[in-house]
Amino acid sequence: MSVLNHLDRLESEAIHIMREVAAQSNNPALLFSGGKDSIVLLRLAEKAFRPLSFPFPLVHIDTGHNFSEVIQFRDRRVAELNERLIVRSVEDTIKQGRARVKSDTDSRNALQAITLVDTINEFQFDACIGGARRDEEKARAKERIFSFRDEFGAWDPKNQRPEIWNLYNARVHPGENMRVFPISNWTELDVWSYIARENLAVPDIYYAHRRQVVRRGIQLVPVTHLTPPRDNETVEELWVRFRTVGDITCTCPVASEAKDVQAIIAETAITSVTERGATRMDDQTSEASMELRKKQGYF
């Protein structure tokens, strides 16, 4: 081997970043949702730390609006890895009166930020590793790999540390924290290529399956108990797959017959709609909505 190919380079960079977190932070955590990006993070953590156990617990911020397959997958994967999982739920945040919802079927994506910040305070985490990528959305293109958050969890684009070469500075004062994104430089296609190369299991709903949906704008909205069809919408059963698996009330599948990872890679390589555009109702509302949510403590 004389030169590393691009996946090797991305993998090696991510391992280096995870080890820097372990070395520089006193009390880190890794956010694991059961989605594909965090599944990749877990493999990278294995690559960084095995044969020892991870130097951080796994944390899931549970919106309560889950696809059940994803939660089953989460628990199975954690058991296989024999690592510690901490779950904190948005439901509890609402019960404690720290967040208000108009109705049960409202998206809880934004509320996740409150639960996350509460969880960080509860355990005094000084670094949280997450699976965000810069190619996902405009507000992320300028995100640092080590992203500084103040004691309210807020992201201030003007108060970020320069990242030069591969020299990361994770120092924080008590109460502040770092959000660390080891796969910042990966694209959706890289993630799927890596899942294929590493033969990683992902929840079934990432693969094509028959599902009842309604058409709303460019999106296919799944018919669930939280997202019933509106009047005069026609329910159709189509072959679909999910590209992201977030809050059930705002996550849409795309039409697809890709039943395995090779087929997904082939589709991703020629796809014509961005991951978020096709699948996230919440990012559609305003061009700046991700930026806004990050300022409020969101990932």
Partner 1 sequence: MDQTLNMEQHTELLRFITCGSVDDGKSTLIGRLLYDSKAIFEDQMAAITATSQRRGMSEADLALLTDGLQAEREQGITIDVAYRYFSTPKRRFIIADTPGHEQYTRNMVTGASTADVAIILMDVRKGVLPQTRRHTHIVRLLGIRQIVLAINKMDLVDFDETAFNEVYQSFLNFANPLGFDDIIAVPMSALQGDMVVDRGQSMPWYTGNTLIEVLETVKVDENIQHAPFRFPVQLVNRVRNSDELHERRLYLGRVESGQVSVGDNVVVLPAGESTRIASIDTFDGAIDTAIAGQSVTITLEKQIDISRGDMIAAEDNPPHTDKAFSALICWFSNAGLDINKRLLLRHGTQTVATKIAALEYKLDINQSIHVPTEKIAMNDIVKVMIRVQQPINMDRYENNRPNGSFIIIDELSNDTVAAGMIA
> Quick check: 184 binds partner 1 (CB under 8 A)?
yes
Which residues share a beta bridge with 62?
Answer: 89
Shortest Å, Cβ 133 to partner 1:
9
Shortest Å, Cβ 238 to partner 1:
19
Nearer to partner 1 (CB atom), residue 228 or residue 277: 277
Nearer to partner 1 (CB atom), residue 65 or residue 276: 276
Shortest Å, Cβ 126 to partner 1:
11
Listed in order, strand segments (DSSP E) in 72-171 are 85-89, 127-129, 146-149
Pick the binder of partner 1 from 187, 212, 224, 296 (CB under 8 A). 187
The amino acid that residue 272 corresponds to is S
Tokens coding 165? 């070469």
> Quick check: 190 binds partner 1 (CB under 8 A)?
yes
Q: Which of 145, 148, 159, 96 is nearest to 122 (CA)?
A: 96
Q: Are 105 and 64 in contact (CB under 8 A)?
A: no
Provide the 3-class DSSP secondary structure of residue 180. strand
> Quick check: 251 binds partner 1 (CB under 8 A)?
no
Nearer to partner 1 (CB atom), residue 7 or residue 85: 7
Q: Are 91 and 64 in contact (CB under 8 A)?
A: yes
Pick the binder of partner 1 from 31, 48, 99, 245 (CB under 8 A). 48
Q: Is the dihedral of CA 184, 185, 187, 189 positive or negative?
A: negative
Shortest Å, Cβ 221 to partner 1:
16
Distance CA 88, CA 84 (A): 13
Provide the 3-class DSSP secondary structure of residue 43. helix
Pick the binder of partner 1 from 236, 237, 257, 287 (CB under 8 A). 287
Nearer to partner 1 (CB atom), residue 158 or residue 210: 158
Rounded to the nearest 10°, the torsion over CA 153, 155, 161, 162 is: 150
> Quick check: 100 binds partner 1 (CB under 8 A)?
no
Of 266-285, which residues contact partner 1 (CB under 8 A)? 266, 269, 271-274, 277-278
Q: Which of 187, 192, 186, 184 is nearest to 267 (CA)?
A: 192
Q: Which of 216, 279, 212, 269 is nearest to 244 (CA)?
A: 279
Nearer to partner 1 (CB atom), residue 63 or residue 130: 130
Provide the 3-class DSSP secondary structure of residue 251. strand
Tokens coding 1? 């081997």
Q: Which of 217, 191, 237, 207 is nearest to 278 (CA)?
A: 217
Tokens coding 233? 């919408």
109 DSSP assignment: T
> Quick check: 82 binds partner 1 (CB under 8 A)?
no
> Quick check: 46 binds partner 1 (CB under 8 A)?
yes
> Quick check: 163 binds partner 1 (CB under 8 A)?
yes
> Quick check: 87 binds partner 1 (CB under 8 A)?
no
> Quick check: 79 binds partner 1 (CB under 8 A)?
no
> Quick check: 166 binds partner 1 (CB under 8 A)?
yes
Of 117-156, which residues contact partner 1 (CB under 8 A)? 134-135, 138-139, 141-142
Please report, as ranges, the residues that interact with partner 1 according to CB under 8 A: 1-12, 15-16, 19-20, 22-23, 46-52, 134-135, 138-139, 141-142, 157-158, 160-167, 169, 171-173, 184-185, 187, 189-190, 193, 196-197, 218, 262, 265-266, 269, 271-274, 277-278, 287-288, 291-292
